[in-house]
Chain A
Amino acid sequence: MTDTIRMIALLDEATQTAEAIDALHALGIEDSKIVVMSGVPYPERALGRHVGWLTLPYIVAAGAVVGFLVGLFLAVITPHLYRLDVGGHPPAAFGPAAVIVFVFTMISTIVSTFLGVLWEMDFPRFGRAPYHNLVTDGKLAVLLEIPRNLEAKARNILEAHKAHHIGDPEWISL
């Protein structure tokens, strides 16, 4: 692993970035060794990259099921645990139970979406990471992890696509 290096380059524009990534692929650099950072979300595949599979929908569905069951327990089971009658109503009935079950399903869905996406993004992740402050100013940063022997070729490709600030990534505490 000692002979791999990290390299960062800033580009101004998405089309150039996509072309540069194509060229880097042609050089034999795996997709997983390229990280693109941007201040704007680019549409999937706009940069010619593989789109990862997310477990988020499963987390959300699991959260919804848990919320549904908690709601069901509170609305339908608890009235029988300590029986208190109220005028004209059975201990548990469809209407009130539907409201409670719905609300608990929704809050659990929402909270699991939030926690799920943080977990997927591996957040919070403080500490030093390769980054460039100009990303939020509209530049696209391409971060490569490549064998040392490809460094010169990669640099040529990037320069050919008008990249600048090419060099060792600065490890910034985030």
Chain B
Amino acid sequence: MGRDVNTLTKTSGNGRRWAMVIDLDRCTGCQACLVACHAENNVPVAGETASAYGRWLHWVIIQRFWEGQYPNVKARFNPLMCQQCTEAPCEPVCPVFATYHNPEGLNAQIYNRCIGTRFCGNACPYKARTFNWFTPEFPEPLTEQLNPDVTVRSRGIMEKCTFCVQRIRRVELAAAAEGRSLHDGEVQPACVQTCPPGALIFGDLNDPDSRVSQLARSRRSFRLLAELGTDPAVVYLKGGETNV
């Protein structure tokens, strides 16, 4: 159903389309990406009880599906973050433009514009958006390592994975200052940087030579809920046998 990956060209300005490839064969479900994301993006920890009730705030989560009956059980891991859809269902429904499509094709979340209708959360078929149910708390000494580049969100607003837009901007500005273009792999979101088996790859999909571009053309590539036509910028590579 889904369009060819390389039709992901809804961009402007610099002509880039940031995308992530997730190799399910490499993912071990270690959750290092999740921890890195919490640290990078000032994501509070909801705690066990709240998480069990579906109130975690993780921007990326390892979805685990069990297959088969004991003793022949297999675990499938599926890291899920905001899919940065081209035709994002969450965007048109926001009454105050708190989520919109930025010129690089990223699905941007503007925290200080959000009034908390949670309509985007209902519209998102991946349920990749999380809500600040309470004022976030960072017990000491966690406050010492809050990232100054990222807003600490207040209660009552939606948030989600931004592809570490602060890192993209930092690299872009540095490259612009040096008067050169970006090279492939220079921008690394926190999860990509951290992933021990290298299951996550980030780059510009509109550059046919980039690693993500090459991997996205692989026969193993698929996109989550492609039949909905949301045209995500997260490309999965089908996994084979991962036994636990």
Contact = CB atoms under 8 A, between A and B. Distances in A.
A23 B232 CA distance: 86
B86 A86 contact: no
B87 interface: yes
Most buried by A among B92, B107, B230: B92
B97 interface: yes
Given A86-B92, A88-B92, 4 more contacts: A84-B101, A86-B101, A87-B90, A89-B92
Interface of B: 85-92, 94, 97, 100-101, 107, 230
Contact of A84 (B86, B89, B97, B107): B97
Secondary structure of the B contact surface, majority rule:
loop
A85 B87 contact: no
Nearest to A87: B88
Contacts of A88: 86-88, 91-92
26 contacts: A84-B97, A85-B91, A85-B100, A85-B101, A86-B88, A86-B92, A86-B94, A86-B97, A86-B100, A86-B101, A87-B85, A87-B86, A87-B87, A87-B88, A87-B89, A87-B90, A87-B91, A87-B92, A87-B101, A87-B107, A87-B230, A88-B86, A88-B87, A88-B88, A88-B91, A88-B92
A128 to B, nearest CB: 51
Contacts of B90: 87
Contacts of A86: 88, 91-92, 94, 97, 100-101
B92 to A, nearest CB: 4
B230 to A, nearest CB: 8
A157 to B, nearest CB: 67
